[in-house]
Structure formats: C-alpha cells, structure tokens
Amino acid sequence: MLSYFLRFEGVNLDSFVYDTDRLPTIRGGSLLLLRAVGDVEIWLREASSVKKVETVSRGASAGLFRFGVEEPGAAEQAREQIERRLGEDPTLRHATFVVDCTPEPPEAEGGFRRAAERLLAKNRFRQMRSPSVAVTVAAEATGPCAVDRVRPAVVPQGAPRGGKESVSASVAVRTREGREAKQKFYDDETGKKWSDSMRFAYHFHQIADDRERGSLDGKIAVLHFDGNSFGEIQQRECTTWQRQQKFDKTLRNYRRSLLADILSEFEMHPEEWRGLENTYRFETLLWGGDEMIWVVPAWHGWWLLSFALERMADWNFEGVPLHHGAGLVFCHAKAPIRRIERLAEKLTSLAKEVGKDKHDPRSTAAYQVLESFDLAPESFLPFRAARSPGGAAEQMIVDGTNARQIAQSIRTLGSVLPRGKVYRAVAELAKNAAADDTEIKSLRGIAKAQGAEAALAGLERASASPAAAWFHLAELWDYLAEFSLQETEVENAPR
C-alpha cells in the first residue's frame, strides 16, 4: 500500500469571513470553515479507494491527513473527489478551497517535513491560480448583495434594524449558520452543555452597550492570540507525522481547557457578563490551530488578556515551552471589524518580535487604545512611536506575567493621582524618555503621601522601563477601573 498526505485549506477569507461587519455573518463564515475540516475527514474516509485515514492536524480552516491507496492514481482521484464535494456542498460551495496531495517520501529523503512543505507550496500555487471569490449562478438577481456589495442578491432576509433586505446566497448561508451554530460551538469544543444556561451575544451592541459604564459604553476589546515560533518548534520537534499529530492534539487540548476555564468564569460571575437581552458578552471570531480571536466589552478586555496569558504560562510540548503573542485593541463597537482585527494581528506580531528574545523567550502582549478607528496601516507605527517613551514603541510591549500587576497598580494609582499631571508628564516623556521634570517628581510625591508608593513601584517593575509605566497609566486609566472583576488566584486554579 502507498502512503499519501492530503492538505486542504479554506482561503481568501476576506471574501468569506471578513467581507462584512455583521457579527452573525462573520461568525457563520468562521464556523463553516471550522466545520469543513471535519467534513473533509469524513469524505476522505468514505472514498472507496482510500485506506486507513489518519488526521495529522486540524486548524481553523485547514486540515492535514495521511491515507493509503493501492495505486498512485487513486490518490489523485481522492483529491478530486474532495474538491468536488466542497464545490457541491450547499454551504461550503460559497467559500474557496485548495486541495492537494503528495506521496509520503522515505525518511532518508526528508520524510514528513518535506511532504508538509511541498503540500503548503502546492496549496499556495493553486490559490494563486484560482478565483478569490466563489460566485454561484444567480438566475433572478435583484441587484448587488445588500451586505457584501459584490455577489448577486437572490435571498430576502430580515434586516438588523427591521424590514427586509436582499442578500447573496453566501451571506444568507453564513448568517443562518452564525445564528444557529454559535451555541453548539462552545458545547462541542469543551464537552459541556453551556447552551443549557448561557446564550451568547448575537450582535456587537449586545457585547458593548451598557449606559452604566460611562465612557466605555459602546466600546469593545478585540483580542488576538497567536503562537510564537510554533512553526520553528514543529520543524524541529515534529519530524514524523506521528509527532505532528501529537503536537496538534496537545495544543487543541490546551485551547479547549482554556476556553472551558473562561466559560466557567462567566458561569461563576453571571452578573458581570450578562448584558442586553440576557446574553453573555463574549464572541469567538477565530478558533483553530495556534490562533484565537475573542471580542469582549472594553471593561473586561484587560482581564481576559491577563487571564488567558496566565493560563498559557505553563503550556509546553514535551518540555518545550509554547509561548504566545497577544494583540489587544480597545475601540468602538461600530469600528470596521476587519480593520480592527488586522490591527490586532499587527499588534500581535509586534509583541512576538519582543517575545522571541533568544536569551529570554516569553509570552508578550501589545495593546492599542483607539478613540478613532480611521487609522491607516501605513501610519500605524509612527502613531505608536509618538505615544511611547522617547519614540521607542517596543517599550510599550507587556510581559504576559506582568499584566495583572499592571492592572492592580493602575487601579490604585488612578484613584489618587491627578490625571492632568499624568498626561503632562507623558507628553514630556514622549520627547525624552529620561525626563524627570517637576511633574513626575510631584506625582511621586503625591503617590507617597497617599500610600500608593508601592503601587507605583510595582507598575515600574512590571513595565519595560520606568517611563513606560507612566504611559501605561495614561493609556489604560479608563479601561482598568473594573479589573477587580474575578480576582482569581490563578496559581491555584486547575489546569
């Protein structure tokens, strides 16, 4: 029997997940791609010429499988069958996929790692030769889709603010999936039936709106987590498909445990997480592989960042630490979610660069407060530099183990220090990180007089530099007022 590997991936996500700012539609596209991984596994097992299928790895929109065939031609037939079924499926046909297979080389010729690299290259080549949007035939289109503005509108559905609108088949399918499958997702991933007691938000305003939150009413926190150097770790540690399979299972078990821990916190503190229409203020936009994207109210954003990084602190693969980078954006719920998600990804990349320090690798986070979401990508780095000590934006990166200390210190200092003085001090430090002018000396004196000297010292220790501590205080002042929520003893929590 001949051994082959098959890799498939949902691609062009900008045309299937992020081509709208509507939460149910985004969620539906993401969940459909996640479901596709399981469907492909089933279809591959059903192929008559295929023997003994092994799932090597599963991601948010991609899967890698090993299978056996009697003849080389049977492998290509299986690939074509998977490709055809993806194109015929009534829901998945609206997405674009690439499917490729390759023989398993002998270990002497690079074995599994060579096959994995070859498959990834074949997937990318196929993607470049394929349309970026899957458009189905529409005999009676009434015009462009009211949501994506690209595909033909063929399906009437209820509009968010009442009435009817005409949308494409793709938007209709994703919206329906996003409304119907979101509750089941948490049950399936954690093995517990949360849907018996929890209903999660269907729209961003259900997450963000709370008039009692003052300036934070209508604001959200978007958090992106991504594994740091996981590709290098797999290249080094996963030299066989069995090792890759073990790495994948290890990571999926960790993520499921983290998700269950977060949902347990909601269950223990429902008064803090339930919002409009009795729904819980939480959304998962991406789930799979080594990436996660969550949306929570702005006043819970730093708590979730701290909680997740602390839970991830001891993740490892057979003794090899699995560090992460995190990006956190505080913004208005009406901000274009695709642009905010991209900004969170960019912040994660900045954090990962600092976390890759070969002498001190660690999990790190970068955050950004956006009062306006009209920030062009090309101006992002200068924007951050202008809000950093002496223009050194890397000093604003936070060590994951220090996130909780930063919050606790800021809560104390924010209640005793005059805000205007802090802002004036930060303005001077932006010009010269070594500045120690009368404003800073005065602030230190006030902190000492108010019994907050220890809190200031703790903030400075938890920051990349003493100057960075003042920037954290100025930027996060409003967003950490509610951090007292769930002061969990993480070190005693079950893993």
| pLDDT, tens only, 92-128 | 999 999 999 999 998 877 789 999 999 999 999 999 9
Percent of the chain with pLDDT over 70: 95
Q: Which residues does residue 198 pair with via DSSP β-bridges, in sequence order?
A: none
pLDDT score of 276 more than 90: no
Task: Read off the pLDDT of each residue in 350-370 and give the average, rounded to a whole number.
Answer: 93
Q: What percent of the chain has pLDDT over 90?
A: 77
pLDDT surpasses 90 at 351: yes
Query: In the predicted model, is pLDDT for residue 437 greater than 90?
Result: no
Q: pLDDT at residue 32 above 70?
A: yes
pLDDT for the residue 139: 64
Evaluate if residue 219 carries a pLDDT over 90: yes
Q: pLDDT digit string (tens) for 292-316? A: 999 999 999 999 999 999 999 999 9
- Predicted local confidence at residue 241, as pLDDT: 96
pTM of the model: 0.92
- What's the pLDDT band for 137 if we cut at 50, 70, 90? low
Residue 377 has pLDDT above 70, yes or no: no
Gap between the Cα atoms of 177 and 23, Å rounded: 11
* Across 453-457, average pLDDT: 97
Compute the distance between CA of residue 412 and CA of residue 459 in angstroms, rounded to an integer: 10
Residue 91: per-residue pLDDT: 94
At residue 253, does pLDDT exceed 60?
Answer: yes
pLDDT recorded at residue 489: 40
Distance between CA atoms of residues 416 and 452, nearest Å: 8
* Amino acid residing at 410: I
Please indicate whether residue 141 or residue 435 has the higher confidence score (pLDDT): 141
Flag the least confident range among 155-164, 199-208, 414-423.
155-164
What is the average per-residue pLDDT within 333-362?
Answer: 92
Supply the pLDDT for residue 266.
Answer: 95
Mean pLDDT (whole number) for 175-194:
91
pLDDT of residue 59: 92
Q: In what order do the strands lie in the sheet with 398-399?
A: 283-288, 291-297, 219-227, 324-332, 364-369, 398-399
